């Protein structure tokens, strides 16, 4: 029983990483209706920027805020320059665009900062949290930040006019234009916010997985899985999904015989798919009724 509890705790700790990433995934899915395969790379690049700032002597929180702002602007710029011209292209062409962006960012980061692993600092320290060896203060801080972000997003979308406009633009673009919403800019704003949230995720994850250009590969897959599991239309679902995926992964690694590190990912995904077969819109997603 103690093993079980410990594994669940450890799962929650890794789950926080996925939850953070899933939140960014859901953000952009809300705005543009696609899963952005390059999101992890964008987060990685942001994290490198903050690292570079710290190398230049900027203190942690200064670098944090500057990175956040740069990522926001960068996200908008990527949308305006690279994806706005593809707005009328088929969905699959857009997906190809995400893959291209992935390749560009990954390879550029490798050239600028090379592929060696770098240490990344944590603002929360890494001593055991409340005496538990399984959750460090950093991981607890990460969970706290994720929840704060979630609450912030909830208020933004529920109670601000711009949040309302973004939701309207995402759900019915034509009607949104008819009430005077500039839907094209709402998409850009969605990219900016997703990039900013992604950068937070990156900066929180980097102390755990270490900083290098491929750091987000696995994390993004789990983030996608978490977002899909929770329901792509629900930021709350994404966070819950993140924790669940973390727990799944740990328990599968502990209790299913023969599951090494390699098979953890496929098994976690298989579990998620089984859930989806029963609940196709995810745990907290809204089921969308299609009109013929």
Partner 1 sequence: MTMLLNVKDLRAYYGQVQALHGLSFSLNEGSLTTLLGANGAGKTTTLRAICNMVRSTGAIEFDGKPLGTRSTENIVRFGIAHVPQGRGTFTNMTVEENLQLGAITRKDNGGIVSDIERMYAHFPVLKQRHTQQAGTLSGGEQQMLAVARALMLRPRLMLLDEPSFGLAPLVVRDLFKILGKINREDKVTILVVEQNAQLALELADQAYVIETGRIVMSGNAKDIANNEEIRKSYLGY
Partner 2 sequence: MSAAEEVVAEGHQAVEAVPKRAMTLGTTTSLVVLAALLIVPLFAKNFIIFQLTMLLIYGLAVLALNILTGGSGQFSLGQSAFYAVGAYITAVLMEQFNINYALTLPVAGVICFGFGFLFGQPALRLSGVYLALATFALATAMPQLLKLNFLEHWTGGVQGLVVTKPDAPFGLPMGQDMWLYYFTLVVVLAIYIFSVNLLRSRSGRAFMAIRDNEIAASSMGVNVALYKTLAFGVSAGITGVAGGLSAIAVQFVAPDSYNITLAISLFLGMVVGGVGWLPGSFVGAAFIIFVPNIAEGISKGLSGAVFGVLLFLVIYLVPHGARQVAIVSQQLIGKFKKN
**Footprint of partner 1 on this chain (CB under 8 A)?**
161, 164-165, 167-168, 171-172, 174-183, 286
Strand partners, 132: 129
252 Cα distance to chain centroid: 23
Measured CA to CA, the distance from residue 287 to residue 6 in angstroms comes to 35
In the three-class reduction of DSSP (H, G, I as helix; E, B as strand; rest coil), residue 158 is classed as helix
Strand residues in the chain grouped as ranges (E):
128-129, 132-136
Q: Is 289 helix (H, G, I), strand (E, B) or coil?
A: coil
Q: Of these partners, partner 1, partner 2, none, which one is at the site of residue 95 (CB under 5 to 8 Å by kind)? A: partner 2
Residue 85 in the binding site for partner 2 (CB under 8 A): yes
DSSP letter for 127, please.
Answer: S
CB of 3 to partner 2, least distance (A): 25
- Choose among partner 2, partner 1, none what residue 97 binds, the Cβ cut-off being 5 to 8 Å by kind: partner 2
Q: Out of partner 1, partner 2, none, which partner does residue 106 contact, by CB within 5 to 8 A per kind?
A: partner 2
Q: Which stretch binds partner 2 (CB under 8 A): 2-10, 45-53, 93-101, 182-190?
A: 93-101
Query: CB-wise, 63 or 188, nearer to partner 2?
Result: 188
CA distance 286 to 143: 25
As a whole number of Å, the end-to-end CA separation of the chain is: 52
Q: Pick one of partner 2, partner 1, none as the site partner of residue 172 (Cβ within 5 to 8 A by kind).
A: partner 1
DSSP 129: E
Task: For partner 1, give the closer residue by CB, 118 or 177.
Answer: 177
| 99 near partner 2 (CB under 8 A) | yes
Cα 275 from Cα 244, distance rounded (Å):
12
The 21-50 site mask, x for binding partner 2 (CB under 8 A), equals --------------x---------------
Site residues (CB under 8 A) for partner 2, limited to 212-271 = 221, 224-225, 228, 232, 262-263, 265-266, 269-270
Q: Closest approach of Cβ 172 to partner 1, in Å? A: 6
Distance, in Å, from the CA atom of 214 to the CA atom of 117, rounded to the nearest integer, reads 10
Strands (E), 34-139: 128-129, 132-136
CA 134/CA 7 separation, integer angstroms: 8
Which residues bind to partner 2, rule: CB under 8 A? 35, 82, 85-86, 88-90, 92-93, 95-97, 99-104, 106-108, 110-111, 221, 224-225, 228, 232, 262-263, 265-266, 269-270, 272-273, 276-277, 280, 290, 292
């Amino acid at each position: 029983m103690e093993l079980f509890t410990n594994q669940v705790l450890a799962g929650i700790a890794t789950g926080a990483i996925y939850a953070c990433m899933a939140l960014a995934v859901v953000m952009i899915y809300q705005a543009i209706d696609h899963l952005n395969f390059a999101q992890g790379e964008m987060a990685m690049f942001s994290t490198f920027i903050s690292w570079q700032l710290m190398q230049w002597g900027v203190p942690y929180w200064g670098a944090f805020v500057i990175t956040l702002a740069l990522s926001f602007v960068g996200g908008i710029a990527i949308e305006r320059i690279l994806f706005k011209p593809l707005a009328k292209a088929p969905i699959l062409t857009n997906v190809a665009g995400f893959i291209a962006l992935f390749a560009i960012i990954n390879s550029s980061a490798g050239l600028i900062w090379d592929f060696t692993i770098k240490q990344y600092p944590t603002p929360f320290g890494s001593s055991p949290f409340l005496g538990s060896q399984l959750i460090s203060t950093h991981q607890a801080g990460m969970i706290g930040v994720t929840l704060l972000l979630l609450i912030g997003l909830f208020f933004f979308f529920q109670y601000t006019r711009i949040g309302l406009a973004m939701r309207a633009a995402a759900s019915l673009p034509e009607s949104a234009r008819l009430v005077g919403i500039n839907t094209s800019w709402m998409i850009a704003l969605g990219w900016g916010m997703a990039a900013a949230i992604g950068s937070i995720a990156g900066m929180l994850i980097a102390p755990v997985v270490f900083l290098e250009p491929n750091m987000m590969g696995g994390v993004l897959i789990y983030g996608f899985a978490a977002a899909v599991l929770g329901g792509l239309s629900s930021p709350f679902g994404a966070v819950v999904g993140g924790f669940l995926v973390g727990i799944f992964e740990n328990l599968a690694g502990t209790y299913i015989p023969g599951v090494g590190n390699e098979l953890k990912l496929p098994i976690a995904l298989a579990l998620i798919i089984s859930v989806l077969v029963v609940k196709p819109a995810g745990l907290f997603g809204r089921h969308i009724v299609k009109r013929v």
